[in-house]
Amino acid sequence: MNVKLLNISKLTIFSVFVATSLMIGCNGDNANVEDQIEDSVATGNNPDEFNKAKQVIYGIPSPIETAMLMKRAGAKYNQEYLNPTSNAGNYTTTKSMALNLGVYSTDLSFASMFDQSQASIKYLATTKKLADDLGILNAIDKTIITRMETNINNRDSLMEIISETFMNSNSFLKENDRAEIAAIILAGGWLEGLYVGCKVAQNTASNKELIERIADQRLSLNTLISLMSEYNTDPNIQAVLPDMEKLKVVFDKIQTSSSKMEVVEKDGKSIISSKSEVKVTTEVFNEICKTATEIRSNIIK
């Protein structure tokens, strides 16, 4: 009996040890209290300490932001540029489902941004299906389609619903240790925005702003590659990352120069001012669009 009790006692100690280790492992930053006090005193909130961030977050443009940027740059809605919802049944692997959830999220944002009510509902139903297939449906409000139908003529409300849905899916994945899937969804959404931007620019006479916006995507692509590289041991990331790096090789052909940034106040608003020159030749622009189209074709097939 004593032996049994001793075993339980050992088990208790072991359990507490394991649990504590798990907690420390999950947070990854819990030094002991004394160390933290010493560290805090030593740092004294010195601005230099901003160089040693505990956590680095890579912000990729969300599908909503991408659609907004393209519309602002003069893009027009064309259903033919979007991935048909009938393709949704073709996606059976985690990688293809995640990529196309991103693709359809951007298409949904485009449709909503351009007041395409019926298309918005169709794309929402499709994103919901893929979210279900990926096991993240619980993150999505079950009444979302009803809410969307109720607000179909109110673009601000629609954008709010899409933003909320994207936020819930994104956070659900991160909380459930599936952040690499969230990264793949973002990659799919970003690429769809680039592809649609290219299609619109190629079919629009006055496309200077659109081309500038597409050239700007070199900045987001760098961030996207940094984000994906965080999970480079994941097989799905390993399968997607080379395509992004291939695009980067083309984007790197864009020549840029920039002056120092400064903040100026104008009419009560802060403007981050700097002179920047970005040279995109027709050849480089066409190569970006050709590469994006090839990668996208493989994703949506």
What mask, x for binding another protein by CB under 8 A, covers residues 156 to 195? x--xx-xxxxxxx-xx--xxx-------------------
Phi-psi region at 75: left, alpha or beta (left = phi > 0; alpha = psi -120 to 50): beta
Which one among 233, 275, 282, 301 touches another protein, defined by CB under 8 A? 275
**Residue 18 is a binding residue for another protein (CB under 8 A):** yes
Question: Would you say 70 or 241 has its CB closer to another protein?
Answer: 70
Sole window of 93-101, 234-242, 256-264, 287-295 interacting with another protein (rule: CB under 8 A): 256-264
**Residue 141 is a binding residue for another protein (CB under 8 A):** no
Phi-psi region at 28: left, alpha or beta (left = phi > 0; alpha = psi -120 to 50): left
**Residue 283 is a binding residue for another protein (CB under 8 A):** no
**Residue 235 is a binding residue for another protein (CB under 8 A):** no
Residues 6+ positions from 279 with CB-CB distance below 8 Å: 254, 255, 256
The most distant pair of C-alpha atoms in the chain lies apart, rounded to whole Å, by 88
Token pair recorded at residue 137: 């449906």
Which DSSP category does 209 fall into? H
**Residue 153 is a binding residue for another protein (CB under 8 A):** no
Question: Would you say 65 or 180 has its CB closer to another protein?
Answer: 65
**Residue 222 is a binding residue for another protein (CB under 8 A):** yes
Question: Which sign, positive or negative, has the C-alpha torsion 57, 167, 210, 241?
Answer: positive
* Ranges within 65-94 binding another protein (CB under 8 A): 65, 68-69, 71-72
Supply the minimum distance, in Å, between the C-beta of residue 36 and another protein.
5
CB of 220 closer than 8 Å to CB of 253: no
